[in-house]
Structure formats: structure tokens, C-alpha cells
Amino acid sequence: MPHASTASSAMTGTALVTGGGSGIGRAVAVALAAAGMRVVVTGRTEETLAHTVKEIRAAGGTASHVLADVTVGDEVARAVRTVADRYGSLDVAVNNAGLPSWGLAADVPPQEWDQVLGVNVTGTWLCMKYEIEQMLRQRRGSIVNVSSRIGAHMRVTHQSAYASSKAAVSTLTRSAAREYIAHGIRINAVSPGPTDTAMAVWPGETPADRDTRVAREIPAGRLARPEEIAAAVVWLASPAAAYVVGHDLVVDGGLSA
């Protein structure tokens, strides 16, 4: 796939990226800004969000941040309102905030189950709810949810809570896509495979252990770079994908092929 900035040079307007302070979210924010969009990043940590904003501005882009916990409806609503008030519209929303979880199904502590489902499913749904309300007023918009190859596409042991949450994100994406395309709102997902962020290191592993594991497991022989996931997100969000609706694009180096 070509670099995001060349694939989507026609992008305009404002994008909101949740979990935009780190990993895939930061790469998506940087790529959307490079493609020509104003970007607002959200998350719970001011310092990491400010770092993303600084990186975008240093490259000549326009960016700002707003603090929001995706599990708190009022905070999500405020974040969406802030984007619309600050820049006039919400054209692209990337719902990327997520949490991992490890453990056999019967061993997952109930509190952890609630937390993972709360952030990954309810958080994604709350973001979509307020983004869609804004996009309905505009009669246009594009939403990309960051799901996972684990869930709808493949199952592995010790990740049932995470897999359940991401299967729900993939299904929510496709259901809502059918509901809103007639209103001008295009909804898709990207389902990454193991990607070089903090989340891809399993408990008890060193980064070197992780590299050995993925070289064995992944047909491509390596992790994805966050920028490679971002390129897929930007393409789906862009006018180049205008007729792509309810797609869940797996980007996993052949793992689930």
C-alpha cells in the first residue's frame, strides 16, 4: 500500500482519533494530518496527547487534543462537541482506544471482564453514538473502528475477553454501516494483527521474546509497524474508499489467511 499521505492527498476537514496519544492511534493521527486533515486526539493522558499534537505541528499540520475517557458518555459527548465547535465539523472519526486482556475464560476476574468490554465495546459504541449524531446533522462523515484480527477473524487461547470484545466491535461496525450509509455516513473497521506497540508484548515476555514468537507465527515474519495499520485506516476513511461500506479490513501479515 502506498504511504498514507500519497494515498489520500485529497482529504480535508477534521478528524477525531481516540487513543491518539500512543501506538496505532498516534500513527493514525500523524497520517491523517499528513493527508491534509485537522486532527483532534483524545485519551485520558494529557502528556501523551500533547506529544502527538507537537509531532503533527512540527510537521506543519494542525492538531489539538481534548481529554476524554471513552467509557464516560458525558466526556465523549463533550469531545465530539469540542471538535465541532473548534473546527466546524467532524468529518472522520477513528475509534481506536482499546485495552488488552489475557487469561483463560474462567480465570478472567469479573472486574477485568467488565473493564475490557467497557472500554472496547461500550467505549466504541459511545463514541459512535455521539459521532453519528454530529454526522447526521452534517449529513456526511466517515468512521473507522480499530478492531482486531482476534475476535471475528480468528481465535487464540488466553484472550477470550479481548476476543469477545473485538468480535463485538467488528459486528457493531457492520450493523451500524448498514444503518447509516443512506444518511451519508460511511462506517468501516480495520482489524490489525500483532503491531509494534506496548500492547503486543504479552505478560512475562520481553520484546525480544515477542519478536521470536511473532517471527514463528506470522507468515510475513514480523510485526506490523503502526504506520502500516494507519495507512489502511486512512485509506478506508478517505474518499478513495467512497464505495467501501461495512468492511472489516484485516491487516495481519497473513496470520489469518
Q: Cβ of residue 154: shortest distance to ligand NAP, in angstroms?
A: 11
87 belongs to the catalytic site: no
Choice between 11 and 214, CB closer to ligand NAP: 214
Burial class (CB in 10 A: 0-12, 13-18, 19+), 240: middle
| Spatial distance between the Cα atoms of 56 and 35, rounded to a whole number of angstroms | 11
Q: Cβ of residue 73: shortest distance to ligand NAP, in angstroms?
A: 12
**Catalytic one of 87, 130, 162, 180:** 162
Q: Which residues bind ligand NAP (CB under 6 A)?
A: 18-19, 21-25, 43-45, 48, 69-71, 96-99, 119, 123, 146, 148, 192, 194-195, 197-200
User: Which has the closest alpha carbon to 63: 95, 107, 104, 25?
Assistant: 25
Choice between 198 and 242, CB closer to ligand NAP: 198
| Spatial distance between the Cα atoms of 203 and 205, rounded to a whole number of angstroms | 6
| Spatial distance between the Cα atoms of 190 and 178, rounded to a whole number of angstroms | 17
Write down how long the chain is. Answer: 257
Choice between 58 and 198, CB closer to ligand NAP: 198
Choice between 99 and 240, CB closer to ligand NAP: 99
Q: Which long-range contacts (CB under 8 A, 24 or more apart) does 103-112 make?
A: 103/158, 103/160, 103/161, 104/157, 104/158, 104/160, 105/160, 105/161, 108/160, 108/161, 112/161
Q: Cβ of residue 41: shortest distance to ligand NAP, in angstroms?
A: 9
HSE, CB side, 13 Å, CA atoms: give it for residue 179. Answer: 12
Choice between 64 and 197, CB closer to ligand NAP: 197
Q: Cβ of residue 243: shortest distance to ligand NAP, in angstroms?
A: 25
Q: Cβ of residue 27: shortest distance to ligand NAP, in angstroms?
A: 8
C-alpha cell at 208: 525480544
- Residues identified as active-site: 162
